[in-house]
């Protein structure tokens, strides 16, 4: 992202960088370490190869991950900035669990 083009609202900056389902799920997977393209694709049910390729490129462009290629082996690793999103991802995970419990309680009442 170009510093001159960054929105004034910090939440808008974050949404601009990771504001889609697939980007967030890719980051979540890479929090456990370096992965190959095929491993990421296998872990994300329903994502197409084209969408995964696009989202990985977008995350690389904004500096959240790096693409390492050695011969025919391509791997993706989060940068320090990418890893700094871990508390955000953990909070989203925890909130989702709590919301699911809440919905189950409502269904039983």
pLDDT tens-digit map of 85-108? 999 999 999 999 999 999 988 888
Would the pTM count as exceeding 0.75? Answer: yes
CA distance linking residue 56 with residue 69, whole number of Å: 14
Residue 7's pLDDT is what? 86
Report yes or no: 41 and 52 within 8 Å, Cβ to Cβ. Answer: yes
Confidence category of residue 2, pLDDT binned at 50, 70, 90:
low
| pLDDT per position as a tens digit, 43-62 | 999 999 999 999 999 999 99
Helix or strand holding residue 74 (H, E): strand 73-78
């Amino acid at each position: 992202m170009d510093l001159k083009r960054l929105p004034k609202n910090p939440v808008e900056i974050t949404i601009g960088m990771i504001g889609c389902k697939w980007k967030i799920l890719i980051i979540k997977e890479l929090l456990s370490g370096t992965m190959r393209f095929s491993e990421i694709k296998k872990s994300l049910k329903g994502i197409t190869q084209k969408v995964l390729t696009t989202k990985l490129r977008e995350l690389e462009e904004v500096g959240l991950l790096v693409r390492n290629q050695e011969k025919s082996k391509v791997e993706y690793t989060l940068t320090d900035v990418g890893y700094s999103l871990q508390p955000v991802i953990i909070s989203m995970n925890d909130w989702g669990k709590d919301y699911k419990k809440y919905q189950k309680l409502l269904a039983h009442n």
